[in-house]
Amino acid sequence: MTTEVKPSPRERLLEAAATLTYRDGVSIGVEALCKAAGVSKRSMYQLFESKDELLAASLKERAAAYVVTLLPAADDGRSPRERILHVFEQVESQAGAPEFRGCRYLAVQIELKDQSHPASRVAQQIKANLTAFFRSEAEKGDAGDPDLLARQLSLVFDGASARAGIGVDKLTGLVAPTVTTLLDTAGVR
Amino acid sequence: MTTEVKPSPRERLLEAAATLTYRDGVSIGVEALCKAAGVSKRSMYQLFESKDELLAASLKERAAAYVVTLLPAADDGRSPRERILHVFEQVESQAGAPEFRGCRYLAVQIELKDQSHPASRVAQQIKANLTAFFRSEAEKGDAGDPDLLARQLSLVFDGASARAGIGVDKLTGLVAPTVTTLLDTAGVR
């Protein structure tokens, strides 16, 4: 007989916050979150100081999976150019899923419109790590201007995921040629 | 003696909806909108079927100003390359304003997460017109693949305004070199 480990109230709240805010936006109410998690409001407020803190924690919780899904493994033997292109192949592949709504860390910042909100700060940090990855690969790949290339790749990443997330572009035949052009111009072969 | 023409309740509601949703997001309540407009809820519902319809109408109302601010005048004698670059100069210049929150037509679609919402449909149409402008200039400029270039420019436009809107990039020294690279690669001289 196997013993199923039931997720804790904390885990269920983090999961509900991540799922529902991604699908419906950050304005989702505390009642809906608690209902989806099967946790009382009283218990929620014992675990999290506020809905804002719950939201921030749910974004942090997803960060590890986000990195694993997007980034290549450290020292996978591929060139910086290939490692950068890998990230965009993942975005293109994710964008094909019907439930894709774009990058959750971009969306949450656009929705909150408050850079000092705890969830915005978590999102900023996670996206800054992505830009730092681009910056580091750009430098290893001898980009003429690694800072510029990192900013360009971050811009393409956000533009692509935003446009696919709202369903106006499927990204096919778009992201790879765009990134390739930027890598070529930067001298990353 | 001058006679001031006071904006009508309809105009005040459109203005309040445009201003408050841009600043605070689409989840702003009907009460707050009516309060800011100085219009009763009863009057609002006589003028607009629903908050969704008010939001859609407020986006449509702003479309003309959006086009004038971003696009060059028709037949201004400049080359397609210069006319495309003009749009991105406007974005970079807008992004410098402290109240800039990115493109309202992108934000509203990301926030609503519902492509069939009346406000999403208005936003889609206005952004499709921008892509059509890029497409038409790309063709006039003999781009190798005008469709691809139009999609790339739309992606850069949305990525740039999203990143500047959340305050993670000021766009200086970023947008012009990116667009120039894409125009060069497409053969638009």
Q: Domain map of chain B by residue range?
A: 56-186
Mean pLDDT score across all residues of chain B: 96
Q: Which residue of A has its CA nearest to B114?
A: A166
Whether the per-residue pLDDT at B4 is higher than 90: the answer is: no
**Is B178 in contact with A182 (Cβ distance < 8 A)?**
yes
How confident is residue B146, by pLDDT bands cut at 50, 70 and 90? very high
Test A168 with B120 for CB contact under 8 angstroms: no
Provide the pLDDT for residue A2: 61
pTM of the model: 0.96
Q: Is the pLDDT of residue B1 over 80?
A: no
Assess whether pLDDT exceeds 70 at residue B127: yes
Average pLDDT of chain A?
96
Residue A4: its pLDDT value, please? Answer: 76
What interhelical angle do B30-37 and B51-70 show, nearest 10? 60
Asked whether the beta carbons of B37 and B28 are under 8 A apart, the reply is no
B37 touches B15 (CB < 8 A)? yes
Closest partner CB to A162 (pick from B23, B159, B181): B159
Establish if B162 touches chain A: CB-CB under 8 angstroms: yes
**pLDDT (tens digit per residue) in B84-114:** 999 999 999 999 999 999 999 999 999 999 9
Size of interface A-B (CB pairs under 8 A): 117
Q: Select from B111, B162, B167 the Cβ nearest to the Cβ of A25.
A: B111
Residues A15, A3: Cα–Cα separation, whole Å: 21
Whether residue A19 lies within 8 A of chain B, CB to CB, comes out as: no
Nearest to A158 among B24, B151, B162 (CB): B162
Is the pLDDT at B50 greater than 60? The verdict is yes
Contact B81, B3 (CB under 8 A): no
What fold is seen in the domain B56-186? Tetracycline Repressor; domain 2 (1.10.357)
Chain B nearest C-alpha distance from A185 (Å): 7
pLDDT in tens, A40-67: 999 999 999 999 999 999 999 999 999 9
Question: Domain A55-186, what fold?
Answer: Tetracycline Repressor; domain 2 (1.10.357)
Which one of B25, B106, B181 has the shortest CB-CB distance to A181? B181
Which distant-in-sequence residues (6+ apart) come within 8 Å of B172 by Cβ? B92
**A chain contacts of residue B165, beta-carbon cutoff 8 Å:** 110
Q: Which two tokens stand for residue B102?
A: 């990115």
Residue A127 to residue B168, Cβ atoms within 8 A: yes
CB within 8 Å of chain B, chain A residues 86-105: 101-102
Residue B6 has pLDDT above 90, yes or no: no
Give me the mean pLDDT over the A184-189 stretch: 97
Summarize pLDDT for B152-171 with one digit per residue, the tens: 999 999 999 999 999 999 99
Nearest residue on chain A to B24, judged by CA atoms?
A113
Q: Cβ(B158)–Cβ(A169) under 8 Å?
A: no
Q: What is the number of residues in chain B?
A: 189
